[in-house]
């Protein structure tokens, strides 16, 4: 038992720590409020200046003409605006009546339907038809694109011609998509979904047995679904691309990512369970979509509709196409949403190895051997870059640990595009996604490590082209993405404990009552009354007051009168719209500041008085890392011509500051067939690269000195020297790389003594693979 004075001292220290913590919270809160008010003032001042600049005096005749043209245009735009909303409602009703099929801009056929599996799930695999003018290349590996099941239906990955599907088809790849149906199979779990998607991957491999393992592309929620497939079937998955995919759910920056506080402010997972019970055991995806919309109330409640109103002559088709997808709300089973909230949103258990797909069986992300590409954006407030990248540091505490596990991870950061823009923006598809497709031919020949990718734009004679540049970075550099060295994630562990307590109380006291009161037959009526659905069917031809709007709109289009875009009344309209947007942004800033302050005041203080562990993983795996490195180091004299060429290439490339995909293409064209990697199965080629990279990583000087042992004959050395000289003459090497060339030529310039070769064969490298 502690002595009274010791206990009092401990209590005093905790009290001081809590007081200091609360003081910092108050200071940050004041800064947030001041920043919100300053932002509002700056926005309104900018709107006023823009209005003053465009203001000009008018004669009475000009003023009358301006008023007539503006108000005529305003009336016509209003009619066209309401007619567009009516069309949106009609589109929604038609999509619902058709069973909410996937909104894919390409022809497709269903290959496999998981509803007939032994462990059924409401998922299916579809094959996308290749365009007639760009048939599938028989040498290209297949793509499997997984769309998010996060409230909406499938289709975002192939929503437009310029999309992930379109880019892959134009590159000649066979393309498949994983779609899902509106209603889940009764009793379906996330484990059933993961195993169904793993089975889809096996089907694709059977259909394309000679083209390499399929590339898996996961969008948002589909990103962590792709990772789950890689963990379940590590030998069957090819490179994994994760676009805007949340993986580290507690991460983010204060004042930038308010969604991460939602679980704590709502008390954990019990609201999701309540929503499921009110839906008769089904969770309505409209709740998730509503959460997304609340992140940006200015756009949700004014900006999006005003943009349609202001550009009604050109914006309507794009608006209707997007709203058709945005308004398709799909359902989940209670068990599915419960697993997602407990293990991911609140529990953050995936990277730590605590997310179980069966009792005692957790998803092991370290088992993944496929290269991984992470694509995130600084403008994404739904999946911020911290949530897309921080899990790498949780899984691999050090760069050495990541390399020892043989893992290749490439991170790509966009500067500004929003969450949906990652998937639907045509410019992103033409720039980033097309470069990702090019990189996938190269990524499996990269040495293990963490790489940052940047897409550079090049203009020659007015033509625009892009090139991907890779720079090796350290896992430890990921700390720079987030302030406070991730100490602000500590309170989220307290949220997890509170969530477990609240969920247990809900299951014991409330769930039986709600389950008895709400019958599955009444759930569809409750879903139909959800505000997001009601605003669609209420503004459709079901509404008799909108019956004449269609005919009036046709009349308006035939006699359209447009305002003067530089006129003073138009300037006043823009000024009013900017003021409304600024007001909504002020509300959002104040709301988020209050929410953040409340979260840390409650859970931050709670974490000070508990024994919550810091987020992230302990530095596990180091023993396995050392064993792997030691094993590779022992093979420094083993191998043949291909191993020697790969080692020489790694020795040269490591001295460069960057790797260009265009340079890789030139290398492949110059010497690809001569090296021997392209003739190997991809898995074998990747193994050779990993092993030689590990040897070079351990001791570059010793790896260089042992290089001649891999090519004992004069013919082999001459071939290798020829490869190196061709590369030297055709590539722009950096000074350090060029300086290494004479050393390589000196080492390989003379054949070894003839009598030593047999001794080396039998004694030095009995297990080595010799070049034939």
Per residue in 632-647, pLDDT (tens digit) is 666 888 889 999 999 9
Indicate if the pLDDT at residue 573 is higher than 90: yes
Could you tell me if residue 639 is left (phi over 0), alpha (psi between -120 and 50 degrees) or otherwise beta? left
Q: What was the pLDDT predicted at 728?
A: 86
pTM of the model: 0.87
Exposure class string for 340-355: b at 16+ Cβ within 10 A, else e: bbbbbbbbbbbbbbeb
Indicate if the pLDDT at residue 312 is higher than 90: yes
Query: Which pLDDT band holds residue 631 (cuts at 50, 70, 90)?
Result: low
Q: What was the pLDDT predicted at 2?
A: 44
Indicate if the pLDDT at residue 676 is higher than 80: yes
Q: Could you tell me where the beta strands, DSSP code E, fall in 552-629?
A: none
Percent of the chain with pLDDT over 90: 53
CA distance 474 to 495: 31
Query: Which pLDDT band holds residue 595 (cuts at 50, 70, 90)?
Result: very high
Beta bridge partners of 452: 411, 471
* Nearest partner of 650 among 710, 690, 709, judged by Cα: 690
- The whole-number average pLDDT for the span 159-182 is 91
417 vs 20, residue with greater confidence: 417
Indicate if the pLDDT at residue 591 is higher than 60: yes
CA distance 527 to 284: 7
Sheet containing 108-113: which strands, arranged edge to edge?
108-113, 123-128, 175-180, 143-146, 215-219, 240-243, 372-377, 408-414, 449-460, 463-473, 659-660
Instruction: Answer for the pair 329, 155: CB distance below 8 angstroms, yes or no.
Output: no
How many CB atoms are located within 10 Å of the residue 449 CB?
20
- The whole-number average pLDDT for the span 151-166 is 87
* Nearest partner of 108 among 135, 88, 80, 127, judged by Cα: 127
CA distance 161 to 142: 18
DSSP 338: H
Indicate if the pLDDT at residue 18 is higher than 80: no
Indicate if the pLDDT at residue 746 is higher than 50: yes
Instruction: Answer for the pair 330, 285: CB distance below 8 angstroms, yes or no.
Output: yes
Indicate if the pLDDT at residue 754 is higher than 70: no
Mean pLDDT of the chain: 87
What one-character-per-residue DSSP string does 15-65 give? HHHHHHHHHHHHHHHHHHHHHHHHHHHHHHHHHHHHHHHH-----HHHHHH
CA distance 595 to 260: 11
Which helix (H) or strand (E) segment is 551 a member of?
helix 549-558
Indicate if the pLDDT at residue 12 is higher than 80: no
Indicate if the pLDDT at residue 570 is higher than 60: yes
Of the candidate ranges 68-72, 269-273, 634-638, the one whose mean pLDDT is the lowest: 634-638
Instruction: Answer for the pair 270, 502: CB distance below 8 angstroms, yes or no.
Output: yes
């Amino acid at each position: 038992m502690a002595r009274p004075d010791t206990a009092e001292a401990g209590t005093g220290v905790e009290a001081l720590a809590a007081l200091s913590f609360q003081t910092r919270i108050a200071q940050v809160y004041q800064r947030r409020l001041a920043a919100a008010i300053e932002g509002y003032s700056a926005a309104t001042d900018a709107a006023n200046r823009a209005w003053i600049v465009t203001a000009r005096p008018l004669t009475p005749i000009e003023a009358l003409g301006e008023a007539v043209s503006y108000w005529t245009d305003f009336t016509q735009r209003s009619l066209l605006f309401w007619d567009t909303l009516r069309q949106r409602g009609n589109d929604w009703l038609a999509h619902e009546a058709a069973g909410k099929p996937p909104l894919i801009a390409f022809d497709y056929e269903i290959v496999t339907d998981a509803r007939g599996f032994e462990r059924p799930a409401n998922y299916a695999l579809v094959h996308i038809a290749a365009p007639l003018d760009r048939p599938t290349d028989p040498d290209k590996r297949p793509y499997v694109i997984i769309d998010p099941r996060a409230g909406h239906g499938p289709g975002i990955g192939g929503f437009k011609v310029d999309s992930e599907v379109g880019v892959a088809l134009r590159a000649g790849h066979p393309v498949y998509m994983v779609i899902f149906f509106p209603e889940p199979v009764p009793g379906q779990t996330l484990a059933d979904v993961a195993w169904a998607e793993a089975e889809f991957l096996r089907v694709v491999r059977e259909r394309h047995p000679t083209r390499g393992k399929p590339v898996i592309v996961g969008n948002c929620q589909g990103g962590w679904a792709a990772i789950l497939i890689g963990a379940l079937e590590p030998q069957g998955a090819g490179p994994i691309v994760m676009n805007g995919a949340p993986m580290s759910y507690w991460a983010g920056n204060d004042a930038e990512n308010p969604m991460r506080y939602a679980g704590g402010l709502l008390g954990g997972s019990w609201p999701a369970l309540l929503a499921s019970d009110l839906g008769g055991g089904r969770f309505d995806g409209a709740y998730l979509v509503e959460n997304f919309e609340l992140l940006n109330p200015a756009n949700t409640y004014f900006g999006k509709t005003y943009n349609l109103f202001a550009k009604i002559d050109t914006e309507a088709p794009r608006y209707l196409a997007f709203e058709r997808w945005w308004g398709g709300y799909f359902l989940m089973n209670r068990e599915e949403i419960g697993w997602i909230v407990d293990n991911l949103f609140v529990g953050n258990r995936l990277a730590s190895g605590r997310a179980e797909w069966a009792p005692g069986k957790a998803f092991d992300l370290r088992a993944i051997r496929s290269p991984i590409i992470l694509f995130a954006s600084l403008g994404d407030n739904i999946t911020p870059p911290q949530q897309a990248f921080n899990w790498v540091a949780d899984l691999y505490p050090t760069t050495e640990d990541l390399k020892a596990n043989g893992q290749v991870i490439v991170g790509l950061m966009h500067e500004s595009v929003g969450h949906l823009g990652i998937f639907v923006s045509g410019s992103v598809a033409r720039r980033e996604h097309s470069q990702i497709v090019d990189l996938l031919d190269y990524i499996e020949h990269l040495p293990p490590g963490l790489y940052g990718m940047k897409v550079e734009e090049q203009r020659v004679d007015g033509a625009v082209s892009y090139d991907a540049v890779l720079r090796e970075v350290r896992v430890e550099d990921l700390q720079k993405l987030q302030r406070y060295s991730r100490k602000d994630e500590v309170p989220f562990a307290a949220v997890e404990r509170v969530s477990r307590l609240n969920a247990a109380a809900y299951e014991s006291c409330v769930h039986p009552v709600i389950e008895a009161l709400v019958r599955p037959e009444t759930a569809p009526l409750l879903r139909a009354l959800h505000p997001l659905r009601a605003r669609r069917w209420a503004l459709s031809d079901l509404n008799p007051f909108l019956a004449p709007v269609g005919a009036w709109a046709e009349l308006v289009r035939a006699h359209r009168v447009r305002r003067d875009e530089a006129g003073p009344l138009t300037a006043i309209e823009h000024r009013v719209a900017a003021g409304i947007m600024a007001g909504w942004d002020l509300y959002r800033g104040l709301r988020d500041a209050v929410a953040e302050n409340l979260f840390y005041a409650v859970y931050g203080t709670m974490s000070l008085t508990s024994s919550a562990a810091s987020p992230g993983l302990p530095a596990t795996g180091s023993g396995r890392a050392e064993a792997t490195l030691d094993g590779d180091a022992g093979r420094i004299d083993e191998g043949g011509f291909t191993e020697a060429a790969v080692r020489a290439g790694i020795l040269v490339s490591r001295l460069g500051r960057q790797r260009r995909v265009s340079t890789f293409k030139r290398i492949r064209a110059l010497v690809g067939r001569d090296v021997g990697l392209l003739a190997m199965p991809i898995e074998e080629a990747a193994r050779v690269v990993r092993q030689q990279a590990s040897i070079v990583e351990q001791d570059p000087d010793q790896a260089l000195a042992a290089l001649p042992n891999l090519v004992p004959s004069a013919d082999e050395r001459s071939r290798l020297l020829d490869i190196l000289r061709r590369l030297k003459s055709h590539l722009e090497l950096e000074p350090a790389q060029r300086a290494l060339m004479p050393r390589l030529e000196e080492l390989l310039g003379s054949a070894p003594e003839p009598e030593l070769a047999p001794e080396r064969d039998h004694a030095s490298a009995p297990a080595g693979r010799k070049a034939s």
